[in-house]
Amino acid sequence: MTDEAMSPLRRRMIEDMTIRTLSPKTQQGYIRTIKNSAAFLCRSPDKASFEDVRRFQLHVAQSGVGTGALNATVAALRFFFRVTLKRSAIRLVNKSPLNAGSAHPIKPANLPDRVRKTRSTNLAHTPPATKSP
């Protein structure tokens, strides 16, 4: 895309990301997320309401993407609204039972009880490390 065809909003977002020294891949991901939200909403993302953002988050979550992609989407939306648009009034919330209302979904990392008990038993019976002479 040439500089002439770039919207002022997109240019401002890229400038904001450059000022904060975000990596090129992060910038590409953020731009892609905002572009996808505009396509989903069928209008400019700067006109989005809280409910519009919430519907987009739900759409992304229901598409079957992983936790990492959901986190990246929330980070991009947060950057766009809070930094580029200076609209901190939009709250990005994912109310799944796993994260109890935090903005980012939490990937459960619990070990099965059988493995947890085996590891703790093994650690309890491990002799202390000795120093080499």
| Residue count of the chain | 133
User: Which one, of 84, 9, 89, lies nearest residue 53 by Cα?
Assistant: 89
Taking a C-beta distance cutoff of 8 angstroms, is the pair 68, 6 a contact? no
**What pLDDT, on a 0 to 100 scale, did the predictor assign at position 50?**
87
Query: Quick one: which of 55, 49, 50, 53 has its CA closest to 34?
Result: 53
The number of helices, as runs of H, and strands, as runs of E, in the chain is 5, 0
The pLDDT score that the predictor gives to residue 95 is 45
pLDDT of residue 6: 83
- Longest Cα pair distance anywhere in the chain, in angstroms? 71
Query: In this predicted structure, what is the pLDDT of residue 21?
Result: 93
Averaged over successive runs of 10 residues, the pLDDT of the chain (133 residues) comes to 74 94 95 95 90 91 90 92 82 47 54 61 64 65
pTM over 0.75: no
Number of neighbouring beta carbons within 10 Å of residue 40? 15
